[in-house]
Amino acid sequence: MYENTYANIKMYLYLSSSGSDSVTVRSSRAAVVCLALLCVLLLTAVIVLCVHIYTNNTNYTQERDQLLTKINNLTEERDQILTKYINMTNERDGLLIKNDKLGKQKDQFSQERNQLQKILNETGDLELQLNNLLLLKTSFIIQCTVGGNHELTAELLMFTDGWLYSNFSFYFISSLKKSWTESRRYCTERGADLIIINNREKQEFAKRFSNGNEFWIGLTDSDKEGNWKWVDGSTLTSGFWRSGEPNGKSGENCVVSFSSGWRDHPCNNAFRWICEKKTLSNELHIKTTDM
């Protein structure tokens, strides 16, 4: 009986042990399969991660190379700009030096010009004074020569530079044509003025020695229409107007002498002119006559 019971128990234990080993084997197989799958997944993840890292690394390397290239280019541009800046600075300094030299030369030239202008002015004054002295000397020589012979005094003697002498005055008869203002300026620059014709003798003299050409005289009503005045400020009392003259109203304010008489003309027209330069003896003669 005991033997049978023991045998049964042993059989039961054997059967139980066989079932447990079978379960253990199945569990081990499942674990191996799971572990294999996990390894595969892990390997796949590692491969994907490596590929991703390699790709990113390649991109980063390219970007780095591009940045390095840009940095090199910027460095070269910076160096070029610095070189240009240095060159421009040197050029600026050179220009400043030249400007200083030019400024000094300009000042020197201005001083020399002022000195030359002063010399020219002094020369002009001396020339005018010399001309006046020569005219005065000639006037005295003529008067001492003719004495009291008034007919001989009225005769004309040629003077240098185209000037004529008559009755204590010198006259210049132009061959060019200018406006009234320019003609008068020509006379005043030589210590004279446009001729004043205040008597018949002077009118005939001017008409005779102008060879029949029309010429400006020193008469104008530019200041006030109809109020004719001579260049010395005196008012016209009587004239030698052509018939129907003056007739130009405000448009004709200067007077031209023709062989047939005076006519008013626009002052900017161009005509010949006669300059008159009175001598000191003429002034003395006038004062003596007035006394």
Name residues of the chain where pLDDT drops below 70: 1-26, 122-161, 280-291
Give the span between the Cα atoms of 242 and 260, in whole angstroms.
Answer: 6
pLDDT for 77: 87
Give the span between the Cα atoms of 165 and 155, in whole angstroms.
Answer: 8
CB-CB contact of 115 with 139 (8 Å)? no
pLDDT for 169: 83
pLDDT for 139: 57
CB-CB contact of 254 with 222 (8 Å)? yes
List pLDDT tens digits, range 140-162: 555 554 444 444 444 444 445 57
pLDDT for 14: 55
CB-CB contact of 256 with 217 (8 Å)? yes
Give the span between the Cα atoms of 230 and 193, in whole angstroms.
Answer: 10
CB-CB contact of 170 with 156 (8 Å)? no
pLDDT for 289: 43
- Per-position b or e across 252-268, b if 16+ CB within 10 A of its CB: bbbbbbbeeebbbbebe
Q: Determine how many CB atoms are found less than 10 A away from the CB of residue 74.
A: 10
Number of DSSP helices (H) and strands (E) in the chain, helices first: 5, 9
pLDDT for 185: 96
Give the span between the Cα atoms of 104 and 98, in whole angstroms.
Answer: 10
The pTM of the whole model exceeds 0.75: no
Helix (H) or strand (E) holding 278, with range, is strand 272-278
- Sorted by where each begins, the domain ranges of the chain are 156-290
Q: Which CATH class is domain 156-290?
A: alpha beta
